[in-house]
Chain A
Amino acid sequence: MMKKLIIILSFVSAVFIGGCSEQQVPNTRGVYMLMDTSGTYTQELEQAQRVINFILANLEPGDSFAVARVDTASFSEKDIIAKVAFDDRPSRANQQKRNFRDKIDQFVKGVKGSAYTDITGGTLQAIEWLTEAGTGHNTILIFSDLQEDLKEGYVRDIPLQLTGFKVVALNVTKLRTDNVDPREYLNRLANWQQRVESGGGTWQVVNDLERLEKVLTF
């Protein structure tokens, strides 16, 4: 009887230790959304608002979410419009979601277009913020036409460290010049894909916002 008990206890302990020794990835999600506010793209901000609301509706307690604008120099905390780490308690998380939405609404009402577009800086800021948040599955959403336009003197030719990150380009609108020569559009996308994948991240483009659900699934 004692022998059987020892065997059972050993087995349970082995299973328990085996379970604990595995590298546990937190089951939380971190989403950082870059919102292009340059030039004509400000017209798309209402669309961005809907995307943010959709993401808010899908995130759960424990997840983190930040929305930042892309302007002349985006590698800055000041560009973060709203950020939140949702509370463990669902009721508190709901309240946080409502507050977040209000902040975004206020921003969209008073937004002014920026002269330049620093997407790389924003991406670097996103990597920093998400790494700090310590979430298990990280996603960077770039709501932009992906046309980077840097102010003179700004160095952004930096390799991106995106291991474990999923980068999703949303609503990549075609510029006038893209229509003249679609290769420009395709090259732009290919260039970003190459940058992301060489940094160890995964790349995805979602232009049909009806398919947003796939973005948040892991």
Chain B
Amino acid sequence: MSFSNIFMITDNPVISGVIWFVILTIVFYLARNHAHRAIIAISRVLHNAMRVSAHSVMLAEKRMIQRNTEVLLEQGREATERIIEREFERVDATVRRDLAEYPALHRHLSEEITKIDEDYNQSIEVPPAPPGWVKAVEAVAKIPSAKGDPMVGNVLEDIHQSLLKANIKATEEYRKASHKRHQLLNSMMPHWRKLRQVLTQVDKNVNSLLQRSTAIDRHIDTYEGIISRTDRAVRMLSSSSLTQFFIAAFVLTVATGGAFINFHLIARPLSEMVGGTNQIMGLQINNIAAMVIILVELTMGLFLMEALRITRLFPVIGALNDKTRIRMAWVFFSILLFLACVEAGLAFMREWLMEEDAKTLAALRGDEGVAAVTENSFLWITTAAQMGMGFVLPFALMFVAIPLETFVHSLRTVLGIVAVGFLRALAWVLRLFGNISRFAGIAIVNIYDLVIFGPLFIERMVKGREEQPEENKSKPVEYRGVA
């Protein structure tokens, strides 16, 4: 029995439609109250379910925010502790280096000052003592004698001459003494210079310590902010984490490019060792071997950086005692060096294979002579460049450990932020659908009434005429939240 068979009560489809409309209107009118209750109940169930789900999602979002803050603060705390630790290590190194020399420096300074003091004392100007016989001359000069006494004149003349001689001698001696004093003062100059140099060095060291202490103060302030979980610290760490994430991602992309070049450098020559036709899971075995070599290099690089305590991805390596750790670092470095040499050899092999291919192709084309002519003397440059790249790239890839560590750490935060965003959006969507279902229920009720507007209109007219008492009037269905 098809739909048309049921629908076509009469031969005329319009009349059949009208009959069906009337039947359905009556049925809907009779079932009005129950239908309204059912519609509203369903919409309320949906609304409540969505509301409760949205609430749960919001709670999950809050927990996620809390977790993010915890992670952020913990990472920030660790990072700041590391920085402060390193600053203290630097201060310690400065103090050990400079202050260990302090006794020697002090002695050196004392010696220099003593020398300067001695030179200074020696350079003090001593006034020449007046000759002792001056008083005897005064006595002779007071002898009462007649003027023109030749004896007295001769004596005085002799005294005058003696005085002149004594004066010349005294002047010479004074000049010599002054010269000697100037020489002493002159010899003080290098000591002064040395003294100034030593004091400048001391000043520089002290200033460096002061700068370090200022940096430590700044880091300690940050650390205190993190410990006391201030909003500023959280904001700062969040922003810093995002920046680090994007920078690390960029550097890792560059490193991936390096790894890709490295792969192409060694994949083909490896087919000379492991064959180039066998496949495992759709990948040629020489390609797998090349990938394994690169991954081993990366791993060794990571371990080496870890053993050097540059990164902290593997706490087990960092926690080893210094002797074992350094030994391990040497082992990792040796393996890396060995692999770098292998790669250089493979790069050479690649060039050789390419030349072989070119020769074979030339032979097959029948232009061997041309191939021999085109073989130029600059070919060694590309060979050397390939070998150099093969040797250097493993060491360059070693440094991937640094951005990788940053990436891994910042990824936690970024994933947390993304998860929060997702949960927030989900909660919004749930609330939206809850509200839609709620108002859709009301809309459906109104549409329902619109469909049966005829019987409702008649009912209102009949009720208006009868003017039934208030308590006998059919109570409209009450819906919570329906205006």
Interface residues of A (CB under 8 A from B): 16, 19-20, 24, 26-28, 53-54, 56-57, 60-62, 88-91, 94, 97-98, 101
Contact = CB atoms under 8 A, between A and B. Distances in A.
Which among A19, A57, A98, A101 has the highest number of chain B CB atoms within 10 Å? Answer: A57
23 contacts: A19-B282, A24-B282, A26-B277, A53-B365, A54-B364, A57-B360, A57-B361, A57-B364, A62-B277, A88-B276, A88-B277, A89-B275, A90-B271, A90-B272, A90-B276, A90-B353, A90-B356, A90-B357, A91-B272, A91-B353, A91-B356, A94-B356, A94-B360
B281 interface: yes
A62 B271 CA distance: 11
Given A61-B271, A88-B275, A88-B276, A20 B357 contact: no
Interface SS of B by simple majority: helix
B443 interface: no
A90 B359 CA distance: 13
A61 B286 CA distance: 12
Contacts of B36: none
A98 B363 CA distance: 7
A138 B278 CA distance: 18
Contacts of B363: 98, 101
A101 B282 CA distance: 32
B277 A28 contact: yes
A215 B478 CA distance: 80
Contacts, number: 59
Nearest to A19: B281
B366 interface: yes
Contacts of A61: 271, 275-277
B33 interface: no
A94 B282 CA distance: 25
Given A56-B364, A90-B268, A91-B356, A20 B281 contact: yes
B353 A16 contact: no
A52 to B, nearest CB: 9
B279 A27 contact: yes
Interface SS of A by simple majority: helix
A57 B365 CA distance: 9
Interface string B53-73: 000000000000000000000
Contacts of A89: 271-272, 275-276
Nearest to B277: A62
A89 B273 CA distance: 7
Which among B276, B278, B356, B365 has the highest number of chain A CB atoms within 10 Å? Answer: B276
A73 B365 CA distance: 32
B356 to A, nearest CB: 5
Contacts of B281: 16, 19-20
Interface string B258-294: 0000000000100110011111011010000000000
B371 to A, nearest CB: 13
Given A27-B284, A53-B365, 16 more contacts: A20-B281, A24-B279, A24-B282, A57-B365, A60-B276, A60-B277, A61-B271, A61-B276, A61-B277, A62-B275, A90-B271, A90-B272, A90-B276, A94-B357, A94-B359, A101-B364
Which among B278, B282, B284, B360 has the highest number of chain A CB atoms within 10 Å? Answer: B360
Given A61-B271, A90-B272, A90-B353, A27 B360 contact: no
Contacts of B279: 24, 26-27
A24 B276 CA distance: 16
B356 A97 contact: no
A88 B363 CA distance: 21
Interface string B342-381: 0000000000010011011101111000000000000000
A53 B272 contact: no
A53 B356 contact: no
Which among B281, B359, B363, B364 has the highest number of chain A CB atoms within 10 Å? Answer: B364
B331 to A, nearest CB: 29
A90 B270 CA distance: 10
Which among A20, A24, A27, A90 has the highest number of chain B CB atoms within 10 Å? Answer: A90
Contacts of A16: 281
A94 B356 CA distance: 7
A186 to B, nearest CB: 35
Q: Which 10 A-B pairs have the closest CB atoms?
A: A62-B277, A88-B275, A53-B364, A94-B360, A19-B281, A57-B364, A89-B272, A94-B356, A61-B276, A88-B277
A90 B365 CA distance: 18
Contacts of B353: 90-91
Nearest to B282: A19
Nearest to A27: B279
A189 B339 CA distance: 58
Interface in B1-30: none
A16 B281 CA distance: 8
Contacts of B364: 53-54, 56-57, 97, 101
Nearest to B268: A90
A56 to B, nearest CB: 5
A53 B361 CA distance: 9
B88 to A, nearest CB: 36
A90 B272 CA distance: 6
A48 to B, nearest CB: 14
A89 B286 CA distance: 11
